[in-house]
Structure 1
């Protein structure tokens, strides 16, 4: 028999749930099956361009049609019609038309396609001490020391002088070479180890080893190893050194997404932030038939560097798509600001999972944990909530009620202790349009590292959360 205190606590206290405890055997199998599909996506989507290629294939397989093709038909968009728009192969907007008119607002989920990495500099190739290297410029927030002494793969595109586009992907297959950034051996690291951790590897020390065999046909030539590498690139891809200037080449951790743990409950991989939200959102929208409100997913670029550029969320490409959507639905484009103001959105981005090894960085009462479901993050920002959206209590209440009614296992979390640091999402830029926005995504361990960790249970619950958000007609 429960005591009076226990009965009152059961009534009033919030007890976090574990996703695994809410499942039957079939539920566990669904989670593992969904995770297998996600791992395959990660293996093919090492860059934002590659991710978009996979997403386009998935959308087309589920009946989504380019807005440009729909415009040629000359027929107004009707409930259930599926469409997409691609911006420069780095950003995408897709949707399913709802039963309610577009002018009454959208139900939007926004995620970002980019993830931290190493980009090649415009003039990357040089020779030193009989070895050839690429110089890099890191992209996004990384701990630079984590990127040394591990296998790296090279992905990206090169636009040659004649306009031909060359796609490069090297280092992922077992029989392909990889690249690496060398580090100083511990025997000689006395001075290096005196550096602060954040200065252990400097940005200009992130130089990637790419070759060591000299050009054999002219032993008097000064930079024979560099020349030999250029010769290999020319033979394989038809490239010249100047072609690097019109290239987007990225170095990312080589290798496949892997199960982690004896029980295989976790996924270790590069790029969970934010491709876990990208994948779950795309999967969720492909399952919609005729939602009550028009459902829209926005996949933006450049979030890791401030959402700038014409493929980032701060650009106007999203407005361009909504204008087309209004026009193709038979509404005046003058209504665009009213439509956006009436829109309700989830900013689909990850949160930091509390790491028991580094507990001092977290507020344990306000931190997300692996396996306890999708995270509702009221605000992000840094320290005094700078550069945050800070969702209104009314909207958070609507989402909380919806998730409880639909059996979604959810939790809340902040991004660490108040003065410890912080971070941001695209929520603030969606909010600029006047729409209600709440951050919603799974927790991640080792965020922004070459091997991030997520729980398969949280990934699946994120997918289910996005489904019920789009399916709902209650708000």
Structure 2
């Protein structure tokens, strides 16, 4: 795939994935188009060598893989890549209706470690999953996406807060409820959803029972810079890695077992049925490799690449980095290292990744957090702890992590895609 086509498809994927549910639907569609077969968790599985498969959990996590060919089998171990589908955002509360001074608003809860200031003065839409009872009494769920701007969180004018540029902090309870419009009385939000769904789908709803809905910025993904060297978008952390992993798996020739898992709930700790700390990957391993001794032997010859974006060195805040470990945008993907095991990389897994990159002449950088600052984490240490698989934490360097709009290098995204392609194809690690 050419870099220009890769970036064009990436932007389409990002724009179509405002929530983890939509991201998984996009991944599912692309895998199906590539000939992968969906398998239900509740069904028995009959697997064919060389065939691609995928299975979903909660509609917000996906595990896709290609069975090894008969000639290679599992003897070569597995090539495994992991990412996460969720991003920090504002989620609508269960009883969100607010009516103040003639304005209709919705109460929101902050999901994950979001940068809150950038959410002000943005054109916001709403998307997610709604569960309802139909007029026949059946329970059903449907994804919705308003797509157009329906809300905004206006800033308070500086005339009313002269210290805003020096010391304004955000009260998540009182400052963040978006304004949806002007009404004479409080709007019944569930009735609003019922009317919207019925007018946009051929379904008759008795009652909306619940929902998981998130606000998002409608501004589409773009390439920016004098030479279009950057990509800006919401949810680059970590839909960028999901897309890269998907594309590398789809284009991989059959050979060793190749796997991609994209988990939900990483931004809130991964402790859920569909999170990396849940049983999704372990259950798959037990199902595909039911013999315990054989499974452990194969895992000992496998590698898990935990792909999650890294902090690029910001030219305006260079002092926030270790001076020897400040990754630059468009200078290559990053190997992430932390002696306190916030990342799962060790010298051997780092060497494997670096060797793969060198073999295809792709540059690689290194990130270590400043010794006087706390370090974030990824699904890497969790997956390594749960399964015992040797793991390397890597990622594309970016700016504005956890903002409503993030920025990364165009070259870095394509570099990581090239490395994962090589990783999936290699018969010996």
The question of 1:34 aligning with 2:6 is answered yes
Residue 282 of structure 2 is aligned with which of 319, 325, 346? 319
Partner of 2:375: 422
TM-score, reference length from structure 2 = 0.90
Structure 1 match to 2:201: none
Q: Is the 8 A contact 2:149 2:218 kept in 1?
A: no
Which position in structure 2 is the counterpart of 1:304? 267
**Structure 2 regions of 5+ residues with no counterpart?**
199-203
Deviation at 1:88, TM superposition (A): 1.7
The separation in 1 between residues aligned to 2:195 and 2:359, in whole angstroms, is 61
Q: Which residue in the other structure is 1:236 paired with?
A: 196
Aligned to 1:4: none
What is the CA–CA distance in structure 1 between the aligned matches of 2:64 and 2:115, rounded to whole Å? 34
Q: Equivalent residue of 1:438, what SS?
A: strand
Instruction: Report Cα offsets for 1:31-83 as digits up to 9, x if no partner.
Output: 22211110011110111111111111111111111234997685x532x2211
Deviations 1:231-282 (A, max 9, x none): 6544333699984x62101011112101211221211100110111100110
Superposed, which structure 2 residues align to 1:11-26 within 5 Å?
Answer: none
TM-score, structure 1 normalization: 0.82
Secondary structure in structure 2 of the residue aligned to 1:236: helix
For 1:275, the equivalent position in structure 2 comes to 239
2:253 maps to: 289
For the residue of structure 2 that corresponds to 1:285, the secondary structure is helix
Unaligned runs of 5+ in 1: 1-28, 215-223, 380-384
SS of alignment partner, residue 86 of structure 1: strand
* Distance of 1:73 and 1:202 partners within structure 2: 46
Deviation at 1:400, TM superposition (A): 1.6
For the Cα contact (< 8 Å) 1:102–1:326, is it kept in 2? Answer: no
1:85: how far off?
1.2
Matched, 1:398 2:352: yes
CA–CA distance in 1 between the matches of 2:299 and 2:100?
55
CA distances 1:153-210 after superposition (whole Å, capped 9, x unpaired): 100121124423243211x3xxx34311122110001365664x5x344344211111
Q: What CA distance in whole angstroms lies between the structure 2 residues aligned with 1:232 and 1:86?
A: 29
CA root-mean-square deviation: 2.5
Instruction: Please say if residues 125 and 226 of structure 1, whose CA atoms lie closer than 8 Å, have aligned partners that are also in contact.
Output: yes
- After superposition, where does 1:71-86 map in structure 2 within 5 Å? 74=46, 76-78=47-49, 80-86=50-56
Larger Rg: 1
Relative distance call for 1:335 and 1:253 in structure 2 (3 A) is same
In structure 2, what is the equivalent of residue 13 of structure 1?
Answer: none
Q: Secondary structure at the match of 1:422?
A: coil
User: Which whole-Å CA distance do the structure 1 matches of 2:424 and 2:61 have between them?
Assistant: 21
- Aligned position for 1:471: 425
Counterpart of 2:311 in structure 1 is: 352
**2:124–2:152 contact (8 Å) kept in structure 1:** yes
Deviation at 1:152, TM superposition (A): 1.1
Could you report, residue by residue, the CA deviation over 1:396-446 in whole angstroms, capped at 9, with x for unpaired residues? 2222222212212211122x4222332110010121122111112211111
User: Which residue among 450, 453, 458 is the counterpart of 2:407?
Assistant: 453
Does the CA contact (< 8 Å) of 2:265 and 2:271 recur in 1? yes
- Would the alpha carbon gap of residues 69 and 418 (structure 1) be closer, same or farther in structure 2, given more than 3 Å must change? closer
**Higher share in helix:** 1
Contact 2:270–2:379 (8 Å) recurs in 1? yes
Call closer, same or farther: CA 1:193–1:446 in 2, change over 3 Å: closer
Over residues 276-319 of structure 1, what are the superposed CA-to-partner deviations in whole Å (9 max), with x where a residue is unaligned? 1100110001111222x311111111011111111100001111
Shift in CA distance, 311/72, structure 1 to aligned 2, threshold 3 Å: closer
